[in-house]
Amino acid sequence: MTKKLIDYINENIKVISSTQKHEKNIKEIIKFISKKLSQGGKILLCGNGGSAADAQHLAAEFLVRLNPKKNRKAIPAISLATDTSTITACGNDYDFNKIFQRTFEALFKKNDVLIVFTTSGKSRNIINVLKSAKKNKILTVGFLGNKGGVAKNYCDLKIVVNSSNVARIQESHIFLGHYIFEQVENKLFK
């Protein structure tokens, strides 16, 4: 194995390992997501670019299943970044900064949870949807990077991956997302 590859792997391990300090928040996120789903809520997820793909990926894990040995009913989850017609119409007719807010406001119900993924915490469209969720008393969870940016101020629960490397942040988000969702799945389907 080349030194470059070893360094790459070690950097990944170091960043993911540093998320252990969020254990209390991770437990709270698991508890609250499980509670909201038990009360008939659903999960709404969003992010930009690679984080949009992460939101879509994790929504699929809830809808289908995480564990191939566990057949269970679908858990309601929706990625707010999968409808290109709505995204482009909103961007054209209103503003790109409202793409998640507009869809969120049309779909949210009491007991839902909004989960956002942002490596910078500065995306205007993420901040706008978080503000809307706050105004409507919807629980918000942030998978954030760097120092959390402005988004951290609008998240009820958050995990801030302490890195400025976008790839390492996104890898940590997916790792933690899988862990959290698996624990929620285990709580709901014992």
Domain edges within the chain: 3-188
How does strand 43-47 pair with strand 77-79?
Answer: parallel
Contact 129/153 with Cβ under 8 angstroms?
A: no
pTM value is 0.95
Report CA-CA distances (Å) from 31 to 38, 68, 113: 11, 23, 12
Q: What is the pLDDT of residue 181?
A: 95
Q: What is the pLDDT of residue 87?
A: 87
- Measure CA 43 to chain center: 9
Q: What is the pLDDT of residue 71?
A: 87
Architecture of domain 3-188: 3-Layer(aba) Sandwich (3.40)
- Measure CA 4 to chain center: 30
Contact 43/37 with Cβ under 8 angstroms?
A: yes
pLDDT in tens, the chain (190 residues): 799 999 989 988 998 988 899 999 999 999 999 999 999 999 999 999 999 999 999 999 999 988 888 889 999 999 998 888 998 998 899 999 999 999 999 999 999 999 999 999 999 999 999 999 999 999 999 999 999 999 999 999 999 999 999 999 999 999 999 999 999 999 998 7
Q: What is the pLDDT of residue 120?
A: 95
Q: What is the CA radius of gyration of the chain?
A: 16
